[in-house]
Structures are given as structure tokens and as C-alpha cells.
Chains A and B, each alone.
Chain A
């Protein structure tokens, strides 16, 4: 059932994670951490214009734009927090071009399917729910501003 609620690009990333085991799952997450795109010029040094995920121990900032009904998210996560960066990159890429509705419908435990809890321990996955909650908040705002 959840498959229907997960946008295509994110579904593909999840499948990539499902395809690898143990240590390789972590390496894949690390690859995502390394390829998180830098902030676009208009957001550099503009944390006050972004949404801070204050539930995270790490300073995580997220920003969303809506163009022609499609969402684009931008993240700023310090390099010292590769696990959080990795997740942010997965969501950034996986939800790029999603509609606000798709973001809102994404089940908050989608990452369980990636099997990362087996290698990372459950405790470390909770920050992800907080980031997604903030992304959903931004999707709601985007919907409202459309009307």
C-alpha cells in the first residue's frame, strides 16, 4: 500500500537501499551525504529565511519553493553530521518535483523500508521524522499560498 504513496524518485532511492546489505547500506548513505547540493546563492547566509528543524541536535535548515505546482527543497546540514546530511540528501533528491500533496501523503516511516534501522539502530532514525515533519509543514504553506 505504501508504495502508492511514495513518489517515483524516492521509490527508486529506497529500492537502491534495499538492494544492498549491511556495510554497503551505510556507504550508500554516506554517498548521499557527500552529494547534498550546496545552498543556492539566494539562500547562502540566510538561515533566518529558512525553517530550522530544532528537534535535531544538529543545526538543520530547510527551505522549500513551489514552481508550477512542484516542490523543491533546499537543505543546510553541517558536514560533521553525515548521517543527517545523508537523509536530507535522500529526501531532497527523492521529493524533488513532488506535489505538495505527495509530500503530505508520504508515510513518516517510509525510511524503514530502506532497512537502515538494521544497521544504524532505531534511535538514530528519529531525527528523520522531525525533518520530514518540517517538510510537510512547508508543503502545507505552499498549498495555502497557492490559493
Chain B
């Protein structure tokens, strides 16, 4: 079935990873929503990359600088040609976010473990608490790839040109009934609703409930095409802070092969606070 995705190289199955745990050309990266989950046990030889404390700039609302990103990779023994396999909890939600950030800095060989941490555990595959260390490398990051990241001015331009947006938040956040995801009051906005014209396709609809693996290409195509999110168009995905939408970004770009998809990581916490920005409810 994986063969039918447009870019099946960006996905690996748990059985494949089980055979590559000690492959020196591969670095396994765990990124979770729960900060302590990695420490309770992880896939052997996996390193931890936290979406917030590892990848975000400590002061500005932005990612690490190029130099800091290079240091992160070098510390984990990642070379420019290392294949990175990302996995995590909550259906690979934050694993996709990390993958997106690594691609932003030009890392090419990236994969998602289909089904993530939950499926690996369901199959009783090995876990360890041993934190691995690898010989230091001298990683060289590229200039950030603006083709996969939308800033607010890009969104305004996108609106002017009547191009489609996909809002991957829960229906209540989309309609403005909720100002933030329950449990995340500090990440709220002063206005509720969505960017005018955006289609609402919650991110989790792209995965199967039973084992967190991605739905079939046919199901995914139908899910997005029915709401006007089509391959021939330029698409911007957003959510609240850009993490859930990086999951949808991955599905559209690699599983369905959309050529022009950007993740707007400013997302609702920026748009819903932006003076004068148009909003629809």
C-alpha cells in the first residue's frame, strides 16, 4: 500500500526500522508532545529532539539560528547525508513538526515511522532507557527553505490571490467557539475564528485510529480534494502554533505529492492577535 503514496521514500514501516536500529547511516529521532516520554523508554539508538526546548529560539518566536541548528545536529552525530527517521507520540504529530524544521534547514533525507511510537509499542518491539551518544560531526545547514514556511505576509498575498488554505484545528477552534485548544490557554488569541476561506480538515483525520498509521492514498486524496485542497494549487496549512499543520503539510507534500505546500507556523496565535487581519467565523 505504501507504494501508492506519491513519495513512499518518506515513510518507513516499523518492521523496516527494526532491521536498521544499528545502521550508522541512520539516526532515529523521537519527538513527543509529552516532554518526559522519551525518558521512560525509547527505540534503541533514538535521540530526543523536543519540539520546543530543542528547536525553538530561546528568546524570539522563531527556530534556532543556523549555527545553533548545526550544533544540534553535530551533537547528535548527524551528518548532512544521514537519513533521519522521525517518530513520536500522538500519531507522529510532533515528529512531523521536527521533520519540517529539519527540512527548513535543508536536511534532505528524512522519513516518518508509520504509526509512530504507539505502533512500535503495540508490536512489543524493543525499548530502552539508554541514551545513545554518537561521534560528533560538523554539520552544515543550508539557508532556510522559505518554500515550505509561510509568514503572515505570504498569507495576506495568498488571500489576495484567492488561493486555498487548510485549517487543521478542531471544528470548535475553527468556528471560534474555542480560542485555544483545551489545555493550552497561554497559546490563545484575542479573536476566535479562522482565516477567510480556509477549509477545516482536522489533522487527525489523516491517520487511522487503531494504529496511528496514515490512511490510504485514496482516502487521503478524497479527504482533501472534497474540500478544495487540490494538488494543482498552492496550499497553506495552519493550526494554532504550526505543529498540527506540519502533520498535514507532510501528508500533502509527501504522501499525496502536492508540489506547493507551505506551513504557516505563526498560525492562529499570530493571526488571531494581528491587528486588522480579516477573520471569518
Across the interface, which residues of A come within 8 angstroms of B33, CB to CB?
A: 57
The reply on A89 being an interface residue by CB < 8 A is no
**CB of B34 within 8 A of chain A?**
yes
Closest A residue to B89 using CB positions: A80
Most buried by A among B35, B39, B52, B185: B35
Q: Decide: A26 and B39 in contact? CB cutoff 8 A.
A: yes
Q: What distance in Å separates the Cβ of A29 from its nearest Cβ neighbour in chain B?
A: 7
B183–A82 touching, CB < 8 Å: no
Q: State whether the Cβ of A124 lies closer than 8 Å to any Cβ in chain B.
A: yes
> Does B16 interact with chain A (Cβ within 8 Å)?
no
The bracket for how many chain A residues form the interface is: 20 to 34
Query: Which chain A residues border B117 with CB–CB below 8 Å?
Result: 80
Distance in angstroms between the alpha carbons of A130 and B186 in the assembled complex: 13
Q: Select one of A58, A79, A84 contacting B40, CB under 8 A.
A: A79
Chain A proximity mask over B263-280: 1 for CB below 8 Å, otherwise 0? 000000000000000000
Residue of A26, A79, A80, A130 with highest tally of chain B CB at under 10 A = A80
Of B36, B118, B181, B186, which is within 8 A of A26 by CB?
B36
**Are A54 and B184 in contact, CB atoms less than 8 angstroms apart?**
no
A30, B182: Cβ atoms under 8 Å?
no
Interchain CA distance A130-B39 in the complex, whole Å? 25
Name the CB-closest residue of A to B37: A82
Alpha-carbon distance A29/B35, docked complex (angstroms): 11
A106 to chain B, nearest CB (A): 18
Query: Per-residue CB proximity of B28-62 to A under 8 Å, as 1/0?
Result: 00000111110110000000000011000000000
A30-B40 contact given A80-B89, A83-B34, A120-B35, CB 8 Å threshold: yes
Task: Return chain B residues, CB-CB under 8 Å to A130.
Answer: 182-183
| A56 CA to B36 CA, complexed, in Å | 16
Q: Which single residue of chain A is at the shortest CB-CB distance from B50?
A: A121
Q: Which residues of A contact B186 (CB under 8 A)?
A: 122-123, 126
Q: Chain B residues with Cβ under 8 A from A29's Cβ?
A: 36
Of residues 151 through 195 on chain B, the ones whose CB sits less than 8 Å from some CB of chain A are 181-187
CB atoms of A55 and B183 under 8 A apart: yes
Q: Which 6 A-B pairs have the closest CB atoms?
A: A82-B36, A55-B182, A127-B183, A55-B183, A83-B36, A83-B34
